[in-house]
Amino acid sequence: MRVLLTGGAGFIGSHTAIVLIEHGHHVVVLDDLSNASEEAVRRASRLAGVDIPLAVGDAGDRELVGRTIAEHGIEAVIHFAGRKAVGESVAKPLEYYRVNLGSAIATLEAMAEHGVTRFVFSSSATVYEQPGELLAESAPVGIDLPNPYGRTKAMIEAIVADASTADPSLQAAVLRYFNPVGAHASGEIGEDPKGIPNNLMPFVAQVAAGVRERLRIFGDDYNTHDGTGVRDYIHVLDLAEGHVAALEKLEPGVLTVNLGTGAGGSVFDVLHAFEATVGRELPHEVVARRPGDAAVSTANPALAHERLDWRTTRTLADAVRDTWRWQERNPRGYAG
């Protein structure tokens, strides 16, 4: 299939591009490079052994998306494009609504104009109103969420559902990611956060690299096995394979599935896995809880197993090793 990846120069998109090509698909990337790098696409091309065309521009520009679809004979779209920083979404809600909703709507409109019916959307476990253990897709989703970022994801899920009702030829998959981590095993591509990382894994990687002084652990008094927050960390290549499976299994209507491992890792589990990989202790201190954080968030991945015939195969230790390889080889990310 000829597949357009909006936001395909980013962390998850660049890994998915490689895995799609490995499965015999053709990939085109559309990315405005506002939080991504052209170098990621160059390296993904090298790793995949084919040239990945990159159109630089905004997925909120319907004309541009339409032109890109027409020019490359696109048959399916995986929509990764969007803003993703929770804290920033609280400070800049209108930007988040404009960019995230605008790009999803423009992309769906451009697809409809060009007769493209296959759509895969990057949603998030953040849409669940009550985070918890082994969440199933039937758990309540709504806009009563702690931040605008999460609300944009829930709203786009509703937009996709409405678009599907209006146009029964639409074949959509909504993928609710848990916590994507890790990097390509080559160490050539990985997560390249701008500024101070908000998320745990890139932060620990920078502590290990000496870029940050110490990890601050946001609370150790949660009701979990060691008191720290528990998440479902999924290796980005397992996640990428989930996209390929979803794409290949599309049928009319909307299939909404969790992409997670079903296993939970705590902050200490991540820290200790990193310490085992680098062979030394990493400086850390326990501080107050981060507002809005849940004690536990893990996926029930049964539906994805059943409907996509997909399973994760990589462990947290694999993700930590791959993250560290990427971090060590690219201390300043794609900048060098």
Binding mask 241-280 for ligand UD1 (x = CB under 6 A): --------------------------x-------------
- The rounded distance, in Å, linking the Cα atoms of 129 and 131 is 6
Q: Choose between 58 and 232: whose C-beta lies nearer to ligand UD1.
A: 232
Round to whole Å and give the CA distance between 40 and 21: 15
Which runs of consecutive H residues, i.e. helices, occur in 62-117?
A: 62-72, 86-91, 93-96, 102-113
Nearest in space to 15 (alpha carbons), one of 314, 255, 244: 244
Q: Of 67, 114, 218, 275, which one interacts with ligand UD1 (CB under 6 A)?
A: 218
One of 37, 107, 123, 126 touching ligand UD1 (CB under 6 A): 126
Say which of 149, 177, 222, 233 is annotated catalytic: 149
Burial class (CB in 10 A: 0-12, 13-18, 19+), 184: buried
CA distances from 324 to 32, 191, 209, 212, 296 (A): 28, 11, 9, 15, 25
Pairwise CA distance, residues 139 & 299, whole Å: 11
Number of residues interacting with ligand UD1: please give it, by CB under 6 A: 21
293 is a site residue for ligand UD1 (CB under 6 A)? yes
Shortest CB 216 distance to ligand UD1, Å: 5
For 291, the token pair is 């507002």
Among 290, 305, 307, 311, binds ligand UD1 (CB under 6 A): 290
CB of 197 to ligand UD1, least distance (A): 7
Tell me how far apart the alpha carbons of residues 16 and 3 are, in angstroms, rounded to a whole number: 11
Is 199 one of the binding residues for ligand UD1 (CB under 6 A)? yes
- Give residues with Cβ within 8 angstroms of 205, minimum separation 6: 274, 323, 324, 326, 327
CB-nearer residue toward ligand UD1: 164 or 323: 323
Pairing between strand 230-231 and 265-266? antiparallel
Q: How far is the CB of 161 from ligand UD1 (least distance, A)?
A: 20
Residue 311, interface with ligand UD1 (CB under 6 A)? no
CA distance 195 to 211: 11
Which window, 27-35, 59-67, 106-114, 194-202, contacts ligand UD1 (CB under 6 A)? Answer: 194-202
Cα separation, 38 vs 308, in Å, equals 31
Interface positions, 164-183, toward ligand UD1 (CB under 6 A): 179
Selected from 283, 292, 309, 331, the binder of ligand UD1 by CB under 6 A is 292
For ligand UD1, give the closer residue by CB, 103 or 126.
126
- Least Å distance between CB 215 and ligand UD1? 6
> Is 97 part of the annotated catalytic residue set?
no
Q: How far is the CB of 64 from ligand UD1 (least distance, A)?
A: 27
Terminal CA-CA length for the chain: 34
Helices (DSSP H) in 167-215: which residue ranges?
200-208
In the complex, what is the shortest distance from the CB of residue 300 to ligand UD1, in angstroms, rounded to a whole number? 17
Kindly tell me which residue out of 69, 134, 217, 240 binds ligand UD1, with binding defined by CB under 6 A.
217
Should residue 198 be labelled a site residue for ligand UD1 when binding is judged by CB under 6 A? yes
Measured CA to CA in angstroms, residue 203 lies from 57, 210, 318 at distances of 29, 11, 17
Active site residues: 149
Tell me which residues touch ligand UD1 (CB under 6 A). 86, 124, 126, 149-150, 179, 198-200, 203, 215-218, 229, 231, 267, 290, 292-293, 297
